[in-house]
Chain A
């Protein structure tokens, strides 16, 4: 049982070289599928266990921390791990047909290897208990995602990937500098150990500078406004599977890293009270919500529209953290989960449209309600969740977020959050209008729905959006428990 903690990462990690050795598309896909579902199962068992018995520690190499590296899974880590593995499992089902169409045949095996590396890297970040090891996993997933994004068919996938590489590497180097400064003052790299030793030296300028570099570095990876410039093009031009997987997981893991470092290792007292990070996060979160939503309204390419919407959604999460209250952090953590559900559903559904129709702009989307009724319905439901209409999951997290702002009497912030939803309503409406109220283009060929292996993952996520909108016990229960652990009752 204990070994599951390491297998959940090692199995997908080591499946990547296996894919390269197999070097044929079908076996590589099958390997990836099995690895992802194994990890998903392991993540479910791990989360059940840590929520019942408390954090699980696993010393790699048999060297106890802080001398060796340890994995440490608590409810927060287990929760994000579950999101990553669940999305991976569904995306791998979806991938088979989509990848066969979008990726040159002789590169499919390596493409799956890259996908597995992205996945394993992200999973590794959520379970490791060592700050430097987190950096290593971050680099595995980043390098693999640069490669995966660049496989998009448009040449802009290449320049987008390069831009992401430059900004991502700057971010990672900032994180490296930050970790170095913390190590300099504490002599340790272990997260628990850091949290215990930092208060003694938290007055020093070195720790403050380290804090700033870590936050900015994670902010770059998180696409926190105004560090988000790499995200829209990267998501818009990547292959469908890659966009869906990254949009649903990569930024979530960055939110996790922010929570881990800011709230746990540095502690609420230092990060949000001694340093003015709370106000900065609220401010940047709001700017992200407004600018992201506003730009999304004017996009004609649907993937780009949703990518800008992601910038706005990240704003909601960051805003929740900035509130520094149990309700605010609960909202942020909930939105990590709910946003993975909605963006996963939306980008996968767009992938299904792309599979049948090719590029997806508003013009091509005209009359899609008749041409691909099931896929379009999924997109509309996902869109409703994005706006935050009850009874979808999106409503629940927005509800807690507004509640959190009102608790602190921040009426203006609450109004702006609602205004952001209004903007979301506009861009989702443009989609609905095109799909149901405009005739299909005259030259549109009749098309059939995408294969079941694509529709089933889409509708699974759509169903989850509605289920977690109606039955909030599990998701809200976990999120508020984590928030209590992080912020403490007094926050």
Chain B
């Protein structure tokens, strides 16, 4: 069979996307150094215990916040409900490491909140009102209040699709309102909750910035220390492999749980839920339950950042900031364009060639999203070093290693899933008969893509670009490893200042990251508004 561009591209991408991950895993078959023995005997248990604590705590808190708020929003009418419905996803714009920095700034012994309490109540310097946050419970709060929107979003959609008749059946069988919620409502949407929860866990285990700032030893901080402290990349890769195996196990669990996803969706019998109007104390309680996560996850950090920026560093738009912002934006734009155009080409190939192998290959291309940025960075670095040593070192110095190209490659592999799902959704809206007709009108291949599909995918393409831009701007661990010398992005800039406890200097890049992160959130809120069935209000 003669392969065409539409088959060769997915195969090539498959190899490029899988190679870094395979290289990391391959390290498990190599030799284990003394550092590994040291880590295994003294540190590894600590990493595992801390990671398990974090994941368990975050999972519980995120489930309570995400599912609870989604249930309130979909079943009740209360003060501020229409605003909460979309505002509850605002914390997605704040990466955990930025919330961690602001939390420290707020609640440390001489942080803004403790100073305020001392000033208001005229207390001495030795008095500390708020407990320390640089510990595992603090990290659990940070992750939970920035990541709960993943669970909120999927739970809300699943609750909307629940039929009134099923819940009413529960009520007639003697369940009160609360029992209806946890015995019927929640179990029926369990696959959706697990799906959201897996995303939260992935983000938690792959985070570097927040745990590093809180000085909590986890796999990610361990990998960094092994590499940059012990200069032992092989052991770092072996540690990364363990984390990767954990991540892959989670994906498999998530896929397994989705197997039963259809049981919560009896659309043929669907009757929209009636909203119960809350008054008095229940109304206030519902308001507070929805307001608190928005306050802690979004308003508090944004207010603290603005306070720092405006009071202490009015000249933050200096030359360095502008250079860093420019680096960040052009990298993000290149990565976003590449991701989006590749997603278009791959999805077009699948549609044009109607080939099941391409479909399977395409699903493998999206696994980068689940691979922690740190692991990906190690794999990409390894791959580029191999290319440099094998093909380029004879003619010149290392070109690929430590170049912007590695960074872009890591971003593309990590963010491709966002583009692919957006473009795929766009393609689902284009009737396949359009392609049939176009082909009879002598339009195929590139012409079909350029003249028919691309104009129809314009909105999906832009959405994909925005999603990737905001993802790349927030990305920290891969950027830290792969960035060229003296090359900073906003996330790195924030990290470096925060690591030096120069929080006021960290404010400007943090605000920039949050502002850019808000763009896809605004798109999402629009989608949420339009997804609300009219009959339910």
**A-B complex is real:** no
